[in-house]
Each structure stands twice: as structure tokens, then as C-alpha cells.
Structure 1
Amino acid sequence: MSTPKILIVGAGLMGRWHAFSAIRNGATIAAIVDPNIERAQALQREFGAQRAFKSLEECLKKSESNIAHICTPAQNHLASIELCLANNHHVLAEKPLLSTFPETKKVLERANESGLKLTPVHQMPFQRGASKLAEDHSNLGKLVRLSHTAFTSGADGKPETERQDVLLEILPHPISLFYRFFGDNLTADQFNVRRYSNGELEIDGVVDDTLLRISVSLRGRPTRNELTVTGDKASAHIDLFHGFATYESGEVSKRAKILKPFRFGSNLVLDASRNLIQRSASNEVAYPGLRSLIRQFYRAALDGKPAPISEREILLCAEVADKVRLSKTS
């Protein structure tokens, strides 16, 4: 693979972690772009980027690069993505990729016509725990239900008009995780929006006789982000904050019932400790799965390999998000 020469567009929190992960995947940071030039220059110094710019348009004219990381608020994505594609850049953009299904479809078509990769940051399926389980869950038996729960503080301090949007920013996570288990068998028509109000999002669905549940709350505490995969032989609990899975036996007996909290507790501590050691050894200090996704995206962009996230998954996320928005007005 040739060296990725990248732009980081947006010098906030996610811009920093993209820069951190990009460097560890062998990339050269050609430029940092942010309207706040002092913030761009601070990130430039921290990661040894070649230049800093206030304007993406100026940056694309003056820097040598081939990949853009879009780490700005979602409302700014469309203009930035279109500008990068027009200047022959592959694009990795934070979620949600774009605001609506029609926008998403149109821009994906433009990328395809130009032979460029356009990928959103759905990093959770690339975590070790989720990836391993999605690839092989035969030990769980037939899948009975998948349940994703997220309690977030991400809307704290935001005006009321913006708080509900945070729920939609989280929505691609469970959809992308479900997609890894069911692939193209998963469609937007299978989801029903039960609630989208007062800081709560509740969605359920059925695919291949498996129940699906999404519960996202701005109010619930403590914060959490987890996926429980239940089979008819066993279950698995994925800690999506930290990227590991803990398995739970499906044994049915009085003895198993008595020992359950002790077995599960000890397995949880063991799995969490093993995961901490692995992440420490690889210097993965935050956002598990992001570095793996970036690595696979670079290979796809520069070596012509398939994109790590399919177009079908991207469109599914956009279609379900539109369905949620429509539920609020119907």
C-alpha cells in the first residue's frame, strides 16, 4: 500500500482521534483544516502535520493529499464531501454521513462515478469483540434477539432544538452492528419506531425470526453502550465502550441459577482485564474499532480493495434515520 496522505477536516475531539489513529496506520498528515486556525495549528503541532488551513477549498488547492477525514458537525458534511470528491479525494466521514437518504444516495453515486471511496465511521463492528462474534456466533445457537442499549451524555448542554439530533447521530451504531449479523436480509421496512421524543429513541424489528431492539436515551444513567446477542443456547454481551464481549452459558439448572452472578461477574472481570492488556499493548486508548476501520479504508482507497463498509449498509442507515424523522411528524 502506498502512503496515505491525508487531510483532517475539523480539529475538534474526533479530528484529534482520527489524527492519532491515522499516524498509527502509517499515514502522513498533509494538513489540518479548521475555521479556528489556532485550533488547527495546535493539532498540527501535536501530530506533526505539514500545514494548517482555515479553508478546505484553499487546502485542496495548496496541499498534496489523496484522502480526507471529515470530522466536522454533520450539517457541514455535504459541502465538504462534495468538495473533496470534486478534487479527487477518497473520503472517510464521521457519522451520520449525510442528513437524508436522497442526499446519501446521490453523493455515493458521485463517488462511484469518480472511482473514489466514500465511507462513514461506523467503527463498532470493527471492535475485536463485535467482529469476532459477528463472524462466528454458532456457540450461541439460533439467534433469538439482538438488543442495543445506549445511554448518552452527548446532548448535555445542548439547546433543546439540537438534543433529539444526538439520538440520530447514535443510530448508525446499532444498525451497522445488526447489519454485520444479517447483511442484505436487513431492510428499513423491518424496523418500527416506537418512540422518538423527550430524549428517547425506541425502535424494534424482526428479521429471520430474530427480534431486534434499539434503545437510546439522553436521560438514562449511568452512561452505557452495549449489545446483547441472545441465542437459544447461550448469550453474549458486548461492551461497546471498551470493545470486548463476555459470554454467558445457557445451562438451565438450579445450580446454574445460583452460580450465575458469580460466573458472569468473574468472566466479566477476566474479559475486561484481557481486553485492557490488548488495548494497552497496541496503544488503543480510545474509540476501539476506529483504527481498524481506518486501516481497512486506506487499503480500499489506495489498493483498490472493497470498501470496509458496504454501500447497502450506508443506505440502510440513512433510510432508517429518515423513517425516525418521519415518525416525529406523522
Structure 2
Amino acid sequence: MTDLRIGIVGVGMMGADHAERVARRTAGARLVAVCDPDAERAKALADALGGVRPIGDPLELIGDVEVDAVILASPGFAHAEQLFACLEHGKPVLCEKPLTMDAASSLRVVEAEHKVGRSLIQVGFMRRFDPEYAALKQLLDSGELGRTLLLHNVHRNKSVPATFRSEMIVRDSLVHEVDVARWLFDAEITRITVHAPKPTSLGGEGVLDPQLAVFELANGAIADVEVFVNFQVGYEVRCEAVAERGSATIGLGSGVFTRAGSQWGGAMPADYRVRFEAAYDIEVQRWVDATRRGEIDGPSAWDGYAAAAVCEAGIASLGSGRPVDVDLADRRKVLG
């Protein structure tokens, strides 16, 4: 079987990381093209990796006959147009979150993919591929601990740019826990409440950080999430599932966890690329393997839409301070 020829749209921090991953660490794949609004950055990356073409226009890259599949690491506001182009050209696509910027356009993407007649879109919720999260999912699904009742999550970044606004904390950070809760409970989120205490003085002016969100799910379970994007210490992601006969926690330490000299602790990663390096590697490798089989093997366009709908309600709750019901389309009517 020939290698999957991949083009990447957007080669900022995330896209450049994917480019290096595809070019050097992904079996059965070959990076053939990159595109970025910063043409010099795209050319420098293409030259550094060798044998890669910089293409000026993202839609040109998507339609290129020498590109078999696409990774979208472009800004969320560009995703809708680029996803529709991938569907038009029949190109499998791994789309970094968010699927699109709002629930309505995400639903249109789901409907358009359904009309194509096959699944082409996978959303980059990479935590599903993280070995710790995967082990937690396996444990909970086994029933060994009984029915899962509660989920506690912590999501902290060392810092973010001053341009990272309150609603972005919901749409770009909290969205990961939205997908984690839906996936671990195998149920939709029906209501969300986002609380904002007095914000840190170390964040951007007017930014509500940290935030505390509470999800209510269709199966009666509840999940809470603390998101703090100017934590100053490092990148920390934890998840504890509380079940009828016990609990399970992941994310307690990174690397060697030591106890010595009346001290205990371990290394804390600087950012998401370190904490979830293995998850990204596994995600992209499985996407490539599944694409070569004509399948997808991860979060679907529907998962991206459902997350967008929850985040949209979350932003409304952040503004009002009240619970907001999630307006989710009937999956059976949309997908048949």
C-alpha cells in the first residue's frame, strides 16, 4: 500500500508540530504540502523538512491532486470553508478543534458530510488517544467500579497570550473536557453552568480566569471542570472519575514521581505538546492507518458539533451566570 500523501493547512505551533510528526514519526504517511498565511514561515518549514511544497492558498492545497488527506491546524474561524472544500474534493481530514466557531455551522458540516455518504472528518480531541485516558475509559467501561457517577477535571495552563479572551477559555480550553465527559459517560451533555470567581490579576484585562463549569448529562451524571489558563506553574491536566465502588484518577504526575528529603513531587510539563505528545503521535498514526483503510478511527464530525453546541451554551452561561440548556439537534433525524 502506498503512503498517504498529507497536506497541512496552518503551520503555527500546532501545525508545525504535526508537520514534524508526519514527516518523521508517522508510518505509512508522507508530508507533501503545507500552507500558512505567513508564506515565509510555510516556506521555511517546507525547506527544513525537505520534499515538501509550500502552497499559498488553503483551498488550492485541499484540491491538489497530489494531496490525499488534509490536517487542518488553521484558526477555527477558517474551518467551515476548509471543511466544506475537503468534503467537495472527497479528502479525509483531521481537523483540530473547534470543528467550527458555532453550533449552527458545525451542524451544517455534519449534514454535508452525511450527504457525501461516508465519514471523512475526524476531530482532534486527542485526549481519547492518551494512554492514561484510554486506560481510564477501559476501566470505567469494564463495570469493575460500578456505574460512574461523577467526573472531576482540572485543566490549567502556565499562561496564555493577552489576546486569549474569556469566551476562548470555553471554546478552546474547556472544549476538551466537554469531549472527555461525553466520551467517558457515553452520553450527551444537556445543561452547562459556568461560574467565574474573582479573576486572577495575572491574566489579560477583563478576562474571566479561572472558570468553573458544571455539566449535567442525559444519563443523570454530573461533571465539573476547573479551567485556569494563567496558572503560572505549568501545564496540568487531571481527571478523577467517581463510581459506585471506587474512584480512579489520572494526571497526577509526569515522568518520575519522587519522595525524598521530606519532599514529594515530579516534573510538570511546560505545555500541552509535552503532556500529550504520545496522544498526538497515536492520534495521527491511527488517523493515517484508518484513512488508508477508507475509515475514521476517532471523534467524528458529530462529536465536534456536540462540543460546539455545549460551548455555545457555556459562553451564554458565562455571560448570565445561570444554567443554560444545550440546544442539540436530534442525531437520528440528522444522520438517519
1:199 aligns to 2:204 (yes or no): no
How many Å apart are 1:311 and its aligned residue? 4.2
Counterpart amino acid of 2:225?
I
How many Å apart are 1:297 and its aligned residue? 2.0
How many Å apart are 1:103 and its aligned residue? 0.6
How many Å apart are 1:316 and its aligned residue? 1.9
Equivalent in the alignment of 1:280? none
Equivalent in the alignment of 1:235? 247
Equivalent in the alignment of 1:299? 289
Counterparts in 2 of 1:212-223, with a 5 A limit? Answer: 212-223=223-234
SS of the residue corresponding to residue 101 of structure 2 reads: coil
Counterparts in 2 of 1:68-107, with a 5 A limit? Answer: 68-107=70-109
Counterpart amino acid of 1:11?
V
1:150 aligns to 2:155 (yes or no): yes
Deviations 1:109-132 (A, max 9, x none): 212322351121100111011101
Q: Bigger shift: 50-59 or 102-111?
A: 50-59
Change in CA separation of 1:38 and 1:211 when aligned onto 2, cut-off 3 Å? same
Equivalent in the alignment of 2:30? 28
Counterparts in 2 of 1:1-330, with a 5 A limit? Answer: 2-23=2-23, 24-26=25-27, 27-60=29-62, 62=64, 64-114=66-116, 115-137=118-140, 138-158=143-163, 162-183=165-186, 186-195=187-196, 198-207=208-217, 208-223=219-234, 224-239=236-251, 287-330=277-320
- The question of whether the paired residues in 2 share the 8 Å contact of 1:117 and 1:307 is answered with no
Aligned-pair identity in percent equals 20
Query: Quick one: distance in 1 between partners of 2:296 and 2:85?
Result: 23
Equivalent in the alignment of 1:257? none
Counterpart amino acid of 1:12?
G
Deviations 1:137-167 (A, max 9, x none): 34544434211111224533326xx353143
Q: Bigger shift: 16-25 or 125-134?
A: 16-25
Counterpart amino acid of 1:211?
I
SS of the residue corresponding to residue 57 of structure 1 reads: helix
How many Å apart are 1:174 and its aligned residue? 0.8
Q: Bigger shift: 38-47 or 147-156?
A: 147-156
- Structure 2 residues not aligned, in runs of 5+: 198-206, 268-273, 321-336
Counterpart amino acid of 1:187?
E
Counterpart amino acid of 1:147?
H
SS of the residue corresponding to residue 171 of structure 2 reads: helix
Query: Quick one: distance in 1 between partners of 2:5 and 2:243?
Result: 44
Query: Quick one: distance in 1 between partners of 2:133 and 2:315?
Result: 28
Query: Quick one: distance in 2 between partners of 1:97 and 1:81?
Result: 9
More helix as a share of residues: 1
Deviations 1:233-265 (A, max 9, x none): 443322299599x9xxxxxxxxxxxxxx99xx9
SS of the residue corresponding to residue 103 of structure 1 reads: helix
- Structure 1 residues not aligned, in runs of 5+: 247-260, 273-283
TM-score (norm: length of structure 2): 0.76
Query: Quick one: distance in 1 between partners of 2:138 and 2:20?
Result: 28
SS of the residue corresponding to residue 34 of structure 2 reads: strand
TM-score (norm: length of structure 1): 0.78
Deviations 1:250-301 (A, max 9, x none): xxxxxxxxxxx99xx98x87xx9xxxxxxxxxxx896331121222222333
Deviations 1:198-227 (A, max 9, x none): 123322134445431011123434232211
Deviations 1:62-99 (A, max 9, x none): 55011111111212222222223222211111111111
Query: Quick one: distance in 2 between partners of 1:314 and 1:240?
Result: 28
SS of the residue corresponding to residue 134 of structure 1 reads: helix
Equivalent in the alignment of 2:201? none
Report the count of equivalent residues: 295
